[in-house]
Structure 1
């Protein structure tokens, strides 16, 4: 057996790489400590010199350290196609910081080691996360909606196929739903499930639940009955709204297709919500496969509205596409960008969405100016005339940014449901080389982004866990206290909660 294994006693790196899928990319970083043994009695004049080919380094990064008298000398050889000079300078500064920390406390655990310098900490906690933008902290979604209705009562609010509804008319529909729910004693933080097909009634139903004082829980009519039962058992709603669909439940049910509903009282009900009340709950599948109900408050939507107003410079002439299924929080972005800022919201049917040619024609015919699309969907389309294209949900690439063209602003948006739709944004300036990978950008207004290693800040450029703080962070997960404790923690760098998004 010994002789059989002898052939494996030495295997060169080139041989190992040849056996792998990654080939020469298997190892990108090399660290070498040159600690040659010297017998001073026999060889007192030993010297050595580090030599290397600087034409094409075999590794992207090689760190070589050796002793010289009382010092340790470090040299870095790097591939300039991968690392910029400033990256290397920053890396060396961090290495020096770490070595000083270890020299000061040789017994410390690696887990206790902070890789961030004081200057970086000041920059991260200061300039990078100085994102304050005034917003109506004391207001709720119904308050902002009613102000918008008063400002633009006769402007078109929602369009679906041949149905064009003004702000005033939509408000009356919303009020009719709200009054019907008030009669069922819906109050703040009560949950109301809505199971509806795309329609003006769907929008009126969601905003009607919020105006009644409750939180809407959108459920896809096509999901398996077992998952629907789980959501009903988990969120324990006080009522259910349906539109052109059915649901098995003993709960009080309001049919949004019933003529009688739209004959009810339609004046504004008294506002009962506070900013920290629940506005909606969205179920995400999560890594466990068990759906998690993410609880979002009015305050996050109100703060996001100010950001969208400043970023997108929305006017009454804008036409926002309602692309997302309402079970996803992108639909909240769409409604906020339009209904709370005086623009038009145009709903598109599932039939049009499933045929690219129909979709292209729909965008042109309706004069859509603002939309949020998944990158892969956008790449299949051939649309023009957009004032701003936003993509989100998965990674962006250079191909789609070039496709957007010079007449359209392009924004890459990122954010988990747990931070009220958005956390960061990156806008292409239209001139520079498109970076690879396309970044997710800087924190949006009233949001802070930290890269952390457990509870310690990572230095700039050091990988870690993405953590989000700010006005949009969710109240937590419904009925999952253990998971809430793990994912939502008190923000060590300011007020409120910190969401660890991984």
Structure 2
């Protein structure tokens, strides 16, 4: 079943505006992703060590998940849905399924202690958690009264009519609707939930695309833990036309593994805290990551010394925005 055909049937392709108009006209993440579909439908949108999904396959899978969440889970616009999946292509697919359902996702790290997970779920009033077979087992010992766990591995294919209606409804969603909820670390007290609107994250992604930091020729390595806000634009990079490669779990703490994966997947774009970038710069093999041409830094102050060192190792690379 072709998503593009449904868009054409409903004249929704006219709202899948050209790249030149995206900054002015995109209001939500699903419509921004759909705007890439016609040009990139057969290109890879999501990949991990075992699977690849094209833009068409990603959207189709997201729609299937979204319809099941709405039909069986009772999910409605602006509901907060927990996302509990280990680092894999399933994580990105689950995220898009929640977004296509019109809900906001709450990223839940699979290595969080039970008491933190319970606090976040209660504080955000989560009634449904989206998981998969592998990750669901970690929830077994967690007290989850009145919370439904939905498994993306057990979702039936949606009908053409259901897909059609969902896509029509997507274009009625507003930029003020929620995209995701992110919790602070809680180092100065209890973790606090921050509500991020659709328009806010769309503005960020459109700016990244406009400045040339991400486009259809880029492959970004998504290695930041999902519980950090910085991980979200990595996961959502396909809205800019980029291919999102999900790094192996724990890669953010393993510079040697990162170098290997950069070479294996021909990664062009990498984000890291200066501590990690420093560790990478000290590896002899880092200079042979010839595909890498964009480096983003955040979380800590990037010194001029380290910036010069990185550009010396990779003279053709571009240092992206620094966020402290």
Q: TM-score over 0.5 for the alignment?
A: yes
Matched, 1:348 2:260: no
Alpha-carbon offset, residue 335 of structure 1: 2.8
Query: Which residue of 2 is the match for residue 306 of structure 1?
Result: 206
Question: For residue 398 of structure 1, what is the aligned residue in structure 2?
Answer: 304
Alpha-carbon shift at residue 287 of structure 1 (Å): 4.9
Correspondence 1:437-448 to 2 at 5 A? none
Match in the other structure for 1:330: 230
- Indicate whether 1:410 and 2:299 are aligned: no
Give 1:220 shift: 1.1
What residue number does 2:258 align with?
Answer: 359
Unaligned 5+ segments in structure 1 are: 1-132, 416-502
Per mean C-alpha deviation after superposition, the further-off stretch among 242-251 and 388-397 is 242-251
Q: CA deviation at 1:219?
A: 0.9
Q: Deviation at 1:135?
A: 2.5
Kindly indicate whether residue 275 of structure 2 is the aligned counterpart of residue 376 of structure 1. yes
- Aligned-partner Cα distance in 1 for 2:97–2:55: 14
CA distance in 2, matches of 1:335, 1:195: 15
User: Structure 2 CA distance, aligned partners of 1:213 and 1:280?
Assistant: 11
Q: Between Structure 1 and Structure 2, which shows a larger proportion of helix residues?
A: 2
Gaps in structure 2 of 5+ consecutive residues: 1-20
- How do 1:15-94 and structure 2 match up within 5 A? none
Aligned residue for 2:126, secondary structure, equals coil
Identify the match of residue 172 of structure 1 among 51, 56, 60: 60
Q: Is it true that 1:254 corresponds to 2:143 in the alignment?
A: no
Q: Is the 8 A contact 1:396 1:412 kept in 2?
A: no
Aligned-residue CA RMSD in angstroms? 2.1
With structure 1 as the length reference, what TM-score do the two structures score?
0.53
- Indicate the residue corresponding to 2:195 in structure 1: 295
- Of 205, 208, 227, the residue aligned with 2:116 is 227
Mapping of residues 417-432 of structure 1, within 5 Å:
none
Per-residue deviation, residues 404-440 of structure 1 (Å, max 9, x unmatched): 222111134216xxxxxxxxxxxxxxxxxxxxxxxxx
Verify: 1:157 aligned to 2:53, yes or no: no
The SS at the match of 1:136 is helix
Highest RCO, 1 vs 2 (Cα 8 Å, sep ≥ 6): 2
- 1:224: how far off? 1.5
- Cα deviation, 1:448-494, whole Å, max 9, x if unaligned, reads xxxxxxxxxxxxxxxxxxxxxxxxxxxxxxxxxxxxxxxxxxxxxxx
Residues 336-360 of structure 1 show CA distances to partners (whole Å, capped at 9, x for unaligned) of 3x21011111111125444322221
Question: Greater shift after overlay, 195-204 or 375-384?
Answer: 375-384
- In the aligned structure 2, how far is the partner of 1:212 from the partner of 1:169? 17
Alignment of 1:476-487 (within 5 A): none
Q: What SS class does the counterpart of residue 340 from structure 1 fall into?
A: helix
- The answer to whether the 8 A contact 2:252-2:258 is kept is yes
Q: Give the Cα–Cα distance (whole angstroms) in 1 for the partners of residues 277 and 159 of structure 2.
A: 43
Counterpart position of 2:99: 210
Structure 1 counterpart of 2:184: 284
Q: Is the 8 A contact 2:302 2:322 kept in 1?
A: no
Aligned equivalents of 2:25, 2:76: Cα separation in 1? 21
Tell me how far apart the structure 2 counterparts of residues 407 and 319 of structure 1 sit (CA, whole Å).
16
CA distance in 2, matches of 1:354, 1:141: 30
Output the TM-score relative to the length of structure 2.
Answer: 0.80
